[in-house]
Amino acid sequence: MRSPAGFTLVELLIAMVIMLVVTGALVALVDPARGVFQAQPEMADMHQRLRVAVDALASDLLRAGAGVAPTVAPPVVPYRIGASESDPDRAVFYRPDVVSAVFVPWTDTAVVSRTYYLRRDPAAGTPQLMRYDGGASDLPVVDHVVGLGFEYFDGAGPIDPAALQDGPWISGGAVAPFDADLLRVRRVRATVRIEAALASMRGPAGALFARGGTSTSSARYAPDLEVRVDIALRNVSADR
């Protein structure tokens, strides 16, 4: 039975301590769950951006070589081509993070190109996958792309990058000059890496994050996503 004198000060202190312990335990359980719930929408957005990037690359690379004779241009070149900032004008014939697909659209008769490259803009703080149409259009495809790379294969396996920039050279076509070994390319391997748009979802730079963020709790981490896809050039004949 309760004493008529009520609770003593010691009893009140013990009750308060118990209440604080229980409250702290509840907070400790709820806080990590909140971090997971915050990270899930960001991870979904990252997967969506990764899909868009791969779809854009595959769409143009699958058209590479369509309607183009070998004497005019190779299906792909590992550098930027076009009217603006063309790499051959600077004697650059290989960049590991750039690819240009060359083809003739179904609705046209002229040879066109689509160049994909990674733009790192320290001022804006948002690295982007860019697509250049060879003319005046140079637009972003996906934001927060922190890694982009391309490898090239012939029927026997990977092609040494040195072989794609040492000649012999073919000139007189739509892409001039270009290394004759580019006509050997049958498959392109693209590697794309996406980061979380929110810095609060990224931890210190390292294996999980190409660019560090501000998160100090692993429960709120949304690690970079990377995918590697092989795209066969279906418009290139085996005996080309």
Model pLDDT for residues 4-59, shown as the tens digit of each residue: 555 677 777 887 888 887 777 666 655 555 555 677 888 999 999 999 999 999 99
In order of 55, 66, 70, 73, 117, the CA distances from 103 in angstroms are 17, 5, 11, 9, 18
**Is residue 97 over pLDDT 90?**
yes
Whether residue 9 lies inside any domain: the answer is no
Whether residue 102 lies inside any domain: the answer is yes
Whether residue 177 lies inside any domain: the answer is yes
How many folded domains does the chain comprise? 1
Q: Is 60 exposed, middle or buried (0-12, 13-18, 19+ CB in 10 A)?
A: buried
CB contact set of 142 (below 8 Å; sequence gap of 6+): 49, 52, 53, 56, 128, 129, 194
Whether residue 106 lies inside any domain: the answer is yes
Whether residue 19 lies inside any domain: the answer is no
Whether residue 40 lies inside any domain: the answer is yes
HEC sequence for 40-105: HHHHHHHHHHHHHHHHHHHHHHCCCCCCCCCCCCCCEECCCCCCCCCHHHHCCCCCCCEEEEEECC
Type of residue numbered 72: V
Judged by phi (left if over 0) then psi (alpha if -120 to 50, else beta), residue 126 lies in: beta
Whether residue 73 lies inside any domain: the answer is yes
Model pLDDT for residues 126-176, shown as the tens digit of each residue: 999 999 999 889 999 999 999 999 999 999 999 999 999 998 999 877 787
| Whether the model pTM is above 0.85 | no
Domain range holding 89? 34-232
Q: Which of 93-107, 119-133, 186-200 has the weakest average pLDDT?
A: 119-133
Tell me what pLDDT residue 1 has: 46
Whether residue 167 lies inside any domain: the answer is yes
